[in-house]
Amino acid sequence: MALLALHAVSKAYGALKVTDSITLAVDEGETLGILGPNGAGKTTLFNLISGDVRVDAGRVEYEGRDVTGLKPHQRCHAGIGRSYQVPQPFGNMSVFENLVTAACFGGKQCEREAWQTAHEVLEQTGLMPHANRPAGGLTLLDRKRLELARALATRPRLLLLDEIAGGLTEHEAGVLVDELRRIKARGVTMIWIEHVVHALLSLADRLFVINFGQKLAEGEPQAVMANAEVRRVYMGMEA
Ligand SMILES: Nc1ncnc2c1ncn2[C@@H]1O[C@H](COP(=O)(O)OP(=O)(O)O)[C@@H](O)[C@H]1O
Ligand SMILES: [Mg+2]
């Protein structure tokens, strides 16, 4: 049984079909990479999985249960954690307070447990030196790390990462990938939207390519990257 299964999910904004009957499944422990040009509907797909946006049609199943009607906080409590493409920390709160808040409200953990989780996640993500700094003053790499850390603090079984490596230097992206590799090794299932293709390829077990809200290709990473249609649409290369 797949951990997450989308059955023909669709979402339109006005006349624009942003998600057009997408069907996909992700197995426990798997890392699925998502590629697609800007505006293809990648973030919207995450919004439909996390419940931030309701589907117009189709079904979202998680752990074999229909969660299509559940609110975002209910899906988060069920184990679906996500990061946002534009980091959304509470800028006036410290890094530590941001993590306690995520653990408490997103992970339904009580006080002592939330503090412990925040502590663990600070260590896992290398944010310990910044624990008491206001989140608003962090560098881009640390804001991305905090975005990952906030999702981890909810103790996800399924982690959705939206362009977590975008804008980072080569070295910084490498540091982040190493962190993600350790998270994957702990058995967390991931769906990762990323334009930094080599970072994505270093971790993804399978790729799913979206164009104009529809599936363009899906499968083993090397095969998908070699697909002529994918090269033309996504990388602007002639076959
Ligand atoms: N809330 C919204 N209202 C209207 N249009 C939207 C909304 N959210 C996304 N869109 C449009 O849907 C398309 C896909 O957006 P998005 O899912 O963010 O794409 P991606 O993440 O692949 O760049 C874009 O054309 C975007 O402008
Ligand atoms: Mg996006």
Assigned CATH for 4-79+156-235 = 3.40.50.300
pLDDT (mean) for 109-135: 94
Centroid of ligand 2 to alpha carbon of 67 (angstroms): 23
Q: In Å, how far are 45, 139, 153 from 119, measured between CA atoms? A: 31, 20, 9
Ligand 1 nearest atom to the CA of residue 42, by list position: 22
Binned at pLDDT 50, 70 and 90, residue 109 comes out as confident
Rg over CA atoms, the chain: 17
18, 22, 38, 48: residue to mutate for ligand 1 pocket, most atoms within 8 A of CB: 18
Ligand 2 center–CA 115 separation, angstroms: 32
pLDDT digits (tens, 9 = 90+) for 4-38: 999 999 999 999 999 999 999 999 999 999 999 99
| pTM of the predicted model as reported, rounded to 2 decimal places | 0.95
- The average confidence (pLDDT) of the chain is 95
* Nearest listed ligand to the Cα of residue 37: 1
Does 221 score more than 80 pLDDT?
yes
Closest ligand to the CA of 86:
2
Residues 166-188 have pLDDT tens digits of: 899 999 999 999 999 999 999 99
pLDDT band at 235 (very low <50, low <70, confident <90, very high): confident
Q: Where does the pLDDT of residue 108 fall: very low under 50, low under 70, confident under 90, or very high at 90 and above?
A: confident
Which residues have CB under 6 Å of ligand 1?
Answer: 13, 18, 36, 38-44
| Domain layout of the chain by residue ranges | 4-79+156-235, 89-142
CA of 43 to the centre of ligand 2 (A): 4
Q: Assess contact for 96 and 122: CB atoms under 8 A.
A: yes
Which of these, 118, 106, 3, 113, lies nearest to 63 by C-alpha position? Answer: 3
pLDDT of residue 237: 62
For residue 91 the two structure tokens come to 């800028």
What is the number of the ligand 1 atom nearest to the C-alpha of 37?
A: 22
CA-nearest residue, atom 3 of ligand 1: 13
Task: Tell which atom from ligand 1 comes closest to the C-alpha of 44.
Answer: 17
Tokens matching residue 17: 């079909």
Q: Which atom of ligand 1 is nearest to the CA of 14?
A: 4
**What spacing in Å lies between the alpha carbon of 140 and ligand 2's midpoint?**
17
Both tokens assigned to 37 = 């040009």
| Å from CA of 3 to ligand 2 middle | 23
- For residue 1, the model assigns a pLDDT of 85
pLDDT band at 63 (very low <50, low <70, confident <90, very high): very high
- Ligand 1, closest atom to CA 41? 17
Sequence letter at residue 53: V
CA 41–ligand 1 middle distance (angstroms): 6
In the structure, what pLDDT confidence band is assigned to residue 239 with cuts at 50, 70 and 90? very low
pLDDT at 234 > cutoff 80: no
